Amino acid sequence: MNPSEGPKSNELQQAAREFALRSEAANALGLKPQSIELVNAVEFTEPEKPARFLYGFTEADKEPLKAGFFKLSQPENNSQLERESAALTIANRVGIPTVGVLHPYQVTPEGNGLLHVDRLDGENGTVLTSPELIASADPRLGIRAALMLLQAGGREIPADMDSSLLKRGDWRNESPETFWKVWAEQNNIVFSPKNKPLVDKLIGTEKLQAIVDQTRVAIEPEINARTNLNTEYFVHNDASPGNMYFSDKGDSDLLLDFEHAAASHNLTLSQLTDLGNFYGRLWPNPAMQQQLLTSYFENSPDSPEYNYKLLKTVVVFGSMFLSKYAMDPNHHEHQMAISLLSSLEGNLASLDNSYQTRKEHKP
């Protein structure tokens, strides 16, 4: 074996790559290399399929610097990181609870993108990054998630802010016409003949079809009435338990990871996108789904009638949109489709109960 190709040589080469990355980040941020801790350097430098971003932590080596977290992207992913930086600036401006930006997006001399933000208190909080963590989480976190989404959903983007980097063209929130195309596509997949036995087993094809049809009839006028071409609404566009930080102290929950952030002229579609995705991603914990729905319904300033229609659509759209990817029994997330379709009827019944209770106590 050539000594230059042995395990020891590979280790030295990796150490050299990591030192170069630490130095690159440190120089861009005005820190010393020893103040930089890399999280996933091996994955980021993998030659075949490198990670999209390098993650790292910074230690404050002088006042008034703060300890932070950074993401570094290779050139082909720079646009996503630049979008995240712009979205964080907007989110902080309009009052969405999230991390502060320590150093906005920049391109290093090496051509990589870099974004530096506040570091989360990892010892006193959690992010539900896996189905297992979601399944074992306290369902009451759904209450806090609802309050967070209420603060984030449908925020108007100030006219004096540059939002040009935000996504446009996501069919879920571009326009009513594109939304109903997504709606039809997901329904065609879930209701396809090959999936009928599974749907019949979990909820019943005729029952699910009736729910889907009734939901569209209820929400369509609301969607059509809430397009405003003079206003754009902020959309996180990837709201999920894995993109939300729950503080153990309960007073500093945060919405994270804005690399897919978008802008929409339709208020209802901006709300539906984030609520529907978050609801769907809670599939391992139906009790948390119910807490999410109940808390949002009880705390939203919108009318009970509007909230009922919106949240019923959240349940249906969130379930069908994600189920369409995993109807095949061989799909690695097939259990997601089973859980979403199995819990759909019960979660709608819980929402019905909240609505009826509100009507009975309406002044």
pLDDT at 15 over 70: yes
pLDDT at 61 over 70: no
Comparison of pLDDT for 252 and 271, the residue scoring more: 271
Mean pLDDT, to the nearest integer, of 59-66? 71
Q: Note the pLDDT of residue 363.
A: 60
Comparison of pLDDT for 363 and 208, the residue scoring more: 208
Cα distances (angstroms) measured from residue 346 to each of 203, 286, 293, 308 = 10, 9, 12, 15
Backbone angles phi, psi at 245, to 5 degrees: -100, 125
pLDDT at 2 over 60: no
Q: Is the peptide bond before 64 cis (omega within 30 degrees of 0)?
A: yes
Do the strands 68-73 and 113-118 form a parallel or antiparallel pair, or are they unpaired? antiparallel
Exposure of 355 in the CB half-sphere (CA atoms within 13 A)? 17
pLDDT at 322 over 60: yes
Q: Note the pLDDT of residue 318.
A: 98
**Of 120, 110, 30, 117, the residue nearest 71 (C-alpha):** 117
To which residue do tokens 């991390």 refer? 99
Q: What one-letter code names the amino acid at 334?
A: H
Note whether 263 and 166 are within 8 A (CB). yes
**Of 281, 260, 259, 251, the residue nearest 133 (C-alpha):** 281
Q: Note the pLDDT of residue 8.
A: 75
| Distance, C-alpha 149 to centroid of its chain | 10
Q: The whole model's pTM is what?
A: 0.93
Mean pLDDT, to the nearest integer, of 94-118? 97
Mean pLDDT, to the nearest integer, of 12-39? 94
**Terminal C-alpha separation, the chain:** 84
| Mean pLDDT, the chain, integer | 94
Q: Note the pLDDT of residue 122.
A: 87
Q: Note the pLDDT of residue 358.
A: 85
**pLDDT interval class at 6 (50, 70, 90):** low
Per CATH, domain 123-360 is 3.90.1200.10: yes
Q: Note the pLDDT of residue 182.
A: 98
Backbone angles phi, psi at 113, to 5 degrees: -85, 150
Mean pLDDT, to the nearest integer, of 121-146? 96
To which residue do tokens 């309960």 refer? 250
The region of weakest confidence among 8-12, 122-126, 199-203 is: 8-12
Q: Note the pLDDT of residue 66.
A: 80
Location of each CATH 3.90.1200.10 domain in the chain:
123-360
Q: Note the pLDDT of residue 223.
A: 98
Alpha helices in 191-281 (DSSP H): 196-202, 205-225, 267-281
Q: Note the pLDDT of residue 276.
A: 98
| Distance, C-alpha 132 to centroid of its chain | 18
Location of each CATH 3.30.200.20 domain in the chain:
3-119
pLDDT at 251 over 90: no
Q: Using CA atoms, how far apart are residues 305 and 2, in angstroms rounded to an integer? A: 74
**pLDDT interval class at 5 (50, 70, 90):** low
Do the strands 68-73 and 53-58 form a parallel or antiparallel pair, or are they unpaired? antiparallel
In the DSSP assignment, the letter for residue 120 is: P
Mean pLDDT, to the nearest integer, of 275-292? 98
Q: What is the pLDDT of residues 302-317, one digit of tens each?
A: 999 999 999 999 999 9
C-alpha dihedral over 267, 270, 271, 274, to 10 degrees? -170
The region of weakest confidence among 42-51, 107-116, 156-165, 336-345 is: 42-51
Q: Note the pLDDT of residue 9.
A: 81
pLDDT at 331 over 80: yes
Q: Note the pLDDT of residue 94.
A: 96
Q: Using CA atoms, how far apart are residues 99 and 92, in angstroms rounded to an integer? A: 8
| Distance, C-alpha 335 to centroid of its chain | 20
Q: Note the pLDDT of residue 165.
A: 97
Specify the CATH number of the domain 3-119: 3.30.200.20
Q: What is the pLDDT of residues 149-181, one digit of tens each?
A: 999 988 999 999 999 999 999 999 999 999 999
pLDDT at 352 over 60: yes
pLDDT at 88 over 90: yes
